[in-house]
Structure 1
């Protein structure tokens, strides 16, 4: 499959249609597998709780401690990817998912569970890695269809979250039916197989042209060939700085979005932790839905969540990603509040839970691409991963508040309302402070790519 060559910054290699679409497919499966492992833990938490004889508040505490370990690991991934490359970052993140699943099956108690589940941070960081990677490929791709609809195409990749969650819920239902309620270890052992396969497939990826050029610019500077390095930087449109990536994301044009987007993720993960990671607990404990029906509700709701990604990705291309994110998260919080305050009728719970996940998860198709656009190429993975890492302080803070409220004998439905529904609405309001970044200000060849799109559209 080929297409006519489009203009792209001199010095950057051409990214053909076949390479672009192969990378998109692999990124989808990588993210699906990463989510599968991450959600598998939340879905099986009630079974793990029963196996170790914990009460609900203690299980929530363990989940919160896991989030702390996950946060530490996620924070390390961004600088690693900016140093080693996007391709290696994809391989490492998915391989970490396999290790996480295998190690979880071998845990013997709370301490070991918290320790090994921290490894899942490698998988959780995968979405920032693939957003960085695909953002750079799409900026210089020869695939005109993808170039014109980048947000919508990326939303297909992001459907890996609800599909991964859906697969995890369905898998748990099947394994439980075959092996019994205490089969959570078997579920994690079996989960390592697809993760290993996808990690091996990631080896087929090529490095992004921008990172290849960045590495060459840095090499030339290191050996003292500064004029050649500056000439290559000018030819490729790259703004490669010598300061550390962490320092860069808190300077100049990056500072505002680093702060605003970090806060938005933090508050939104009050909702993610409550309604997605601990979805079965909310439905079973908060609304009195029995375990088998709760799994069915999670499966059905995540199908709608997948549709939410596609819808928000499409809308973001046409009406602006920021606007779509703000409205989606506010509506999501309202839907979850209605679910928790309304009757426990299964049909009502199903409808409101579906709608809540549609608006809670869907905007991530827009925000992942939006935040990758906010940073220059040499600090993009660090910036995007740092912001994504704020999900874990959100999960930690939200988890501690949820645990504290439940321990204080507050009804679980009320605690979920205060933490999850309100947090989701607040995250949408915080997003109002984000600033859209024009292609001309990105310093990675995106301006030239955008010019190609505009020229093609004019024709």
Structure 2
């Protein structure tokens, strides 16, 4: 695997992720003008977003079997094309039946959201055991804040200035995604998946013992390979890991929804910060979160990704708690919010790579996609809990703590229930003995 191949693969994955994020987050950014143009009330628009998130969950979940059965490269192309379709079709929304149309079309953005699970699976196998593989991957995963900032910047320059409407903003995202899809066709397939496909071919020919020996030569576990990939995730050897990492992702996304997505509401209504200053806080904090990706990617290579993720999320939960119950001064709120975002977003550079290296090759794509799909569900739960607590008469500060603060802290503790995998080999050896026994 030459450095030229790895650099090309990393660049294509980075660009695909940036424009997937641009499409994924742009709908929320432009929701007010979209709702006004289509005649939706605020509550109705929020309801549509909830339906879309449910659709995104199922679409993101479907990418896993695609990764494990048909390959990493085709999955990357399909998810990138999906992001382009999501943007292009959104721009063509009709006036009649707009709600149903948007619900279906924006579900395709789940393919763009699943891009990070595809990247984590593909690049994990491409980087192999390189010492700084986590840090290198953090440069790719850092496309999230860049995609968010790109969407915000283009909205300010093109939409707010009146140069183009909200439909034009989605058209802008379509053409780069198509170009990236073409570039992805030139990617090299993961050698690990190619070896897995060869082993499965031997199995289908009835040459089980030969398949096991071949797979072992390439450090691949074949136990339970005759079962569906989703069922394999809940077999005894990796069931505990699957459950704990999925719950950790779910709980953390509750915190992200409350503090990152609904951050302006928490800061303005809960801490009394002016809206213009709150927007400035979000911009600076998202810029800082990119540095957070790099830092957590680097630290994860040194002390292990599980500890890095858990520690970061615990620090984030404490920082947000201090922000909520501490002084209302803008300087203090600004500092604590930035620290919270740094440590809640940054660990995702380690988490996504950890997802790739902690599941066996046979279910790596499905495992990463299942965990990744917990994000939209966590987002729905976060909005629902915050609304529930505020509707019950609690103040914004208390409601934010009970929903987002406690969930963020819980996500850190849940990570300690996952497997402490520090290299891809450890993910494969769990069931080698049981595999050999099954053959005998």
1:381 aligned residue (353, 362, 365): 365
| Whole-angstrom CA distance in 2 between matches of 1:98 and 1:346 | 40
Q: CA offsets per residue over residues 198-222 of structure 1, 9 Å max, x none?
A: 2222112110001111112222332
**3-state SS in 2 of match to 1:252:** coil
Distance 1:124 1:154, change over 3 A: same
Please name the residue that 1:87 is paired with: 73
Query: Are 2:381 and 1:397 aligned?
Result: yes
CA offset digits 1:307-365 (Å, max 9, x no partner):
00111111111122111111211221232334444566554443332222101101111
For residues 141-172 of structure 1, what are the alpha-carbon distances to aligned partners after superposition, in whole Å with 9 as ceiling and x for unaligned? xxxxxx11111111111111111112122222
Shift of 1:82: 0.7
**2-side partners of 1:313 and 1:287: how far apart?**
32
Q: Tell me what 1:143 maps to.
A: none
| Residue 303 of structure 2: aligned partner | 319
Corresponding position: 1:358 with 2:342: yes
Give CA-to-partner distance per residue, 1:339-398, whole Å, 9 cap, x none: 444566554443332222101101111111112222111110001111111112211222
Q: Does 1:233 align with 2:215?
A: yes
Residues 334/86 of structure 1: CA separation in 2 closer, same or farther (3 Å cut) = same
CA contact (8 A) 1:373 1:437 kept: yes
Residue 99 (structure 1) aligned with residue 85 (structure 2)? yes
Matched, 1:121 2:104: no
Please state if 1:138 is matched with 2:127: yes
Structure 2 matches for 1:333-344, cutoff 5 A? 333-341=317-325
Give the equivalent residue in structure 1 for 2:137.
154
Deviates more, 1:406-415 or 1:306-315: 406-415
Matches within 5 A, 1:46-445: 46-52=32-38, 56-107=42-93, 108=95, 109-139=98-128, 147-179=130-162, 183-226=165-208, 228-240=210-222, 241-283=225-267, 293-341=277-325, 346-407=330-391, 410-437=394-421, 439=423, 440-443=425-428
Q: TM-score, normalised by structure 1?
A: 0.84
TM-score by length of 2: 0.88
Q: CA separation in 2, counterparts of 1:88 and 1:297?
A: 39
Q: Answer yes or no: is the 8 Å Cα contact 1:170–1:295 preserved in 2.
A: no
Tell me, which stretches of 5 or more residues in structure 2 are unaligned?
433-440
Q: Tell me, what secondary structure is at the counterpart of 2:127?
A: helix
What's the Cα RMSD here? 2.6
8 Å Cα contact 2:304/2:422 also seen in 1: no
Structure 1 gaps, min length 5: 1-14, 141-146, 448-459
Give distance in 2, aligned partners of 1:204 and 1:349.
47
Deviation at 1:427, TM superposition (A): 0.8
The CA distance in 1 between the partners of 2:181 and 2:328, in whole Å, is: 42
Aligned residues of 1:60 and 1:399 also touching (Cα < 8 A): no
Distance 1:415 1:118 in 2: 29
In structure 2, do the counterparts of structure 1 residues 84 and 251 end up closer, same or farther at CA, with 3 Å as the change threshold? same
Q: Is 1:26 the counterpart of 2:8 in the alignment?
A: no
- How many Å separate the matches in 2 of 1:171 and 1:414? 35
Does the Cα contact within 8 Å between 1:332 and 1:356 map onto a contact in 2? yes
Does the aligned pair in 1 maintain the 2:87–2:173 contact within 8 Å?
A: yes
Kept in 2, the 8 Å contact 1:46–1:281? The answer is no
